[in-house]
A and B are shown apart, each in its own frame.
Chain A
Amino acid sequence: MSQTDNNDIGASLSPESIARGHGQFPYVIVRMHYAIYMQMPIHFTSVKTEGLKGIIVHSQSENNCNNTERLLEVTAKYKQDLDAKNNRNHRICLVIEKDQAYYFEEGEIRFNTSIPSGGTLVNSNKQVIAMAQSHFIQQ
């Protein structure tokens, strides 16, 4: 994690986390507990790539990030697998932009212009990668 400005409370994403794909749209947020979120970067690869953490989508298309329909399919499959693996219903969110998100909750997919923010953000290894900050890279 990187320390933020002295006037801010919390810690933003570190360059190491960003290099692993965190903080870049689109991504998936899994609500672990109250105010604890896991961020899963979505990696689109045309060839098998070792070492990537997150949701890996093998695709030859060059326009995946703008293909929201495809992203919804990928997220729905990810949720299905996660729910089956942990035998419980997870609340997850596909974040497309800083003002566009799709929440997968209570059996429906719900659009909202408000995206998850703040709290404690962890990676797929449950390591804390940000606290009380935005979940995306601030330009």
Chain B
Amino acid sequence: MEKQLIVRLKSGHEISFVPNEVRLEKSFVDVSALLNDNPFPLLIHFTHELLVSNLFLSKVPDCVLLHLKENFEPKSASFCVNRDEGDFTLQSQCTFVLLIPFPIPFQLKEIQTIYSKSKN
């Protein structure tokens, strides 16, 4: 069974992602290292009980981070666009963070809902 995350747009289109899901009990993650074994689209599932998680994004290819609640309802989004050497860290308060590579196929304001379903 593979998990699908489906982005339903206001236009009626639905775009499906089968993410590589990584469950993390720690609150700090080096995303670049994570991507070596888990390419885009990447779903990070934080299972710790702290208020925020820290995502170290230096050297991560350009992407969008969708911050999702436990029921995958979108809460916010961040753009990761690396242009220079240097540290780039982001905080998230959400259980799930979905990373989709640039260019993304929709405008953020066009998202109606995001839901999950399993498929054989």
* Partner-B contacts on A (CB < 8 A): 66-69, 71-72, 76, 96, 99-100, 102, 108-113
Contacts and interface: CB of A to CB of B under 8 A. Distances in A.
Given A69-B110, A72-B15, A108-B14, 19 more contacts: A67-B103, A68-B106, A69-B106, A69-B107, A72-B106, A76-B13, A96-B103, A99-B101, A100-B101, A108-B15, A109-B13, A109-B14, A109-B16, A110-B15, A110-B17, A110-B18, A111-B18, A111-B105, A113-B41
B40 interface: yes
Contacts of B107: 69
B103 A68 contact: yes
B104 interface: yes
Q: For the side of the interface on B, what is the size category?
A: 10 to 19
Contacts, number: 46
A76 B105 CA distance: 13
B15 A109 contact: yes
Interface in B36-94: 39-41
B105 A72 contact: yes
A66 B105 CA distance: 9
Determine the main DSSP class of B at the interface with A: loop
A72 B17 contact: no
19 contacts: A67-B103, A68-B103, A68-B105, A71-B105, A72-B105, A72-B106, A76-B13, A99-B101, A100-B101, A108-B14, A108-B15, A109-B14, A109-B16, A109-B105, A110-B15, A111-B16, A111-B105, A112-B18, A113-B101
Contacts of B39: 113
Contacts of B41: 111, 113
Query: Which 3 A/B pairs are nearest by Cβ-Cβ distance?
Result: A68-B105, A110-B16, A68-B103
A108 B40 CA distance: 19
Interface in B1-55: 6, 13-18, 39-41
Given A109-B13, A109-B14, A111-B15, A102 B105 contact: yes
Nearest to B41: A111
